[in-house]
Structure 1
């Protein structure tokens, strides 16, 4: 009887496919389908029951059982009609009743793509509109909730850990060679585009004005004095070696000693006398050079050429590229260390942000506006792509499997329609038969 009512796919339904065009079935789906089968059995049993009651009532009516048999037969007959009509309506959603090619049946399998298109349009018009998104986000109050959530130290620790994990993952994915090339190109391009001479001149002018260069001069004088003391023979040898060949050797030696002593005296005086004239000459030279770096065209051009030559050297490019490896290692180490300055500062920043968002209404309003604008931009810009995801996904599903999936989820409730149709039909038939008997009387 069950099969005669169009449930000729029952055997196929008992085989649960694992996937169909991206549509998967789980153990929960199979449990729901078993519930549907139980409800089908109950609804069909009720139909068989009213059919049996109808047959007995008609037999009793023909046997002279009394007027009551007519009322029972009318109620049972109407109950059968209601049950069959609702069975046809429910079955027509998922398959062709009894396999007959009746128009407007098997609605879900045959109209699956149109249903997916309509669902996508419905979602786009009613869920992905800018006004709806703004109203929903404003009602949620994300900023106040986020502020309260971030102000909890445990939550701040969790976010910090997640950020550290994401940072490590991102640095792991990036190839050093690619990043080094980008960093090197960016630094070189920025250096080429920016004239450095005026900036160097301004900095040098300030250093000279503040006397910051004097420690460098002191260091040079000390190192020069020590070098002369250690390498006196080399200095005298250089002077003697440069003398004319016709001069006597003792004269060359005397001249070398004299030059060495004068150099040593000059350097010693310059080291020990802060107001030595040579120091003043160095100050004037640096001041003039700082001014030329800022205003002299030739000096600035020479500095730019020198800059280009330095940047073009392979050693400098290698140094720039290798800087990324050091930075990357430093960031990874800081991200992995829970007590690193980086993670502590991030945690403190999150806690501070949470407290500010809890207390500052203007900040909350600004965050809410930013989130609303971002969400509206996403849904309005990519609405077609989002709805296409729905329609394309539904279109990729197998029609029969889609029908079974949907029936597994809503079929149990639909079987109540059959039961209700049987009961309501019987009551309606009883009322009609009673009214006709009263009017006929």
Structure 2
């Protein structure tokens, strides 16, 4: 049922009960005035007249009381009428105070939270496929608007600055030292050494003519050219032979290379100069325009991927989200510790975000009631409680009639008819 349909139903019910209450009052008046036309009424007529008179008085009194709550009876400026419209601000303050001191009392809220076991109910609800689909659909509908709600330039700046701040807080020395240790343990440094030897021999082979020309240019003029060529070839052959010896894994130079790398790792862990040098390199890289542009491009790609993923209802992203929600529900049902952790977080959320602001919530309620249009407030309140108030009018007429008849009988018994 929609709100408009519920409102219409309440108005119909109120109107029907108001007609019944008015009809009872008119009936009492009709009986009272009708008995006045009976000539020489007997005791039964007088009894009915007394009951109708008292019912009429009681009905009018209750009509006045009920009407005075919401408006001035017959529009007359009678004191202490239109109680709710005149005291709207005080009503709001009282309602806000009542809610903040009773409904938002810490002990009450926490005890109700524990009794409700919300994590278990949430788990059972999410474990149902149709509910997981519903939540996923709602999240996917909201996600693009949430992502696009932020100014892209501001988010890029925040993303860039936050990443740079976290990187600056990172101590690079133990990270690089550990990477070098893993490099040594895997013998990758020796493979790098072999690769360097291969590159050196290839470089030497491709630049033989250049080396001969350099030797010849540095030789004396009186030395024959053939001796310069032989000298250059001898130098290159010696270098090639030495590089071939270095390729042997037990060569002393390779052992010195191992020791040098180990010493470098030890120096990195203890040397403040190395730490400062690494921090300077890190800061200069973070401040470079190239890295800033790369980070902004990464954010743009990530943002577009998120928008595309959540906008496509048939994407794997949705299925993954539905599955995650169902697994979360299953976990809550099967794992008491998980439920306890979630309940603790909910309790902490209440303690930190709701309970400290209960006075503000009470003030908010008071402000809302105060700012309501008076006619709208009266209409809402009358719709909410008007049916019961019409029963007061009906009961006032009936009870008044019964009391009037009882008084007539008692008076007649005591003093004679």
Deviation at 1:391? 1.0
Report the equivalent of 2:368: 393
> Which residue of 2 is the match for residue 56 of structure 1?
34
Of 344, 356, 360, the match for 1:381: 356
Range with greater deviation from structure 2 (89-98 or 233-242)? 233-242
SS of 1:101's equivalent in the other structure is coil
Task: Name the residue aligned to 2:50.
Answer: 74
User: 1:38/1:290 Cα in 2 relative to 1: closer, same or farther (>3 Å)?
Assistant: closer
> 1:403 aligned to 2:378?
yes
User: Could you give the per-residue CA deviations for residues 61-111 of structure 1, whole angstroms, max 9, x where no partner exists?
Assistant: xx2243333222212211211111111011101111122222211011111
User: How far apart are the structure 2 equivalents of 1:367 and 1:302?
Assistant: 46
Give the CA deviation at 1:215.
1.7
Which deviates more from structure 2 when the two are superposed, residues 329-338 or residues 224-233? 329-338
Match of 1:220 among 187, 196, 199: 196
Do 2:63 and 2:393's aligned partners in 1 also have CA atoms closer than 8 Å? yes
User: What's the counterpart of residue 315 of structure 1?
Assistant: 290
Cα distance in 2 between the residues matched to 1:440 and 1:403: 49
Tell me the CA shift for residue 274 of structure 1.
2.7
| Equivalent residue number for residue 118 of structure 1 | 94
How much is the aligned-residue C-alpha RMSD, in angstroms? 3.5
Residue by residue over 1:270-319, the C-alpha shift from the partner in whole angstroms, topping out at 9 and shown as x without a partner, is: 4x433344433433332333233233444444444444433333223333
Structure 1 position 429, deviation (Å): 1.3
- The 2-side partners of 1:323 and 1:305 are apart by 24
Work out the CA distance in 1 between the residues paired with 2:271 and 2:351.
55
Distance 1:192 1:391 in 2: 49
Structure 1 Cα separation of the partners of residues 168 and 405 of structure 2: 97
Query: Given that residues 33 and 407 in structure 1 are in contact (C-alpha distance below 8 angstroms), is that contact kept between their aligned partners in structure 2?
Result: no
Counterpart contact for 2:212–2:228, Cα < 8 Å: no
Which stretches in structure 1 are left out of the alignment for 5+ residues? Answer: 1-24
After superposition, where does 1:17-32 map in structure 2 within 5 Å?
Answer: 26=4, 28-32=6-10
Give the TM-score taking structure 2 as reference length: 0.82
Give unpaired runs (5+ residues) of structure 2: none
Q: TM-score, normalised by structure 1?
A: 0.78
Q: Deviations over 1:126-178 (max 9, x none)?
A: 21011111221122122333344455566566656666666665544444533
Within the candidate set 404, 415, 423, 2:390 is matched to 415
Deviation at residue 199 of structure 1 after TM alignment: 4.3
**Which structure is higher in RCO with an 8 Å CA cutoff and minimum separation 6?**
2
Task: State how many pairs are aligned.
Answer: 412
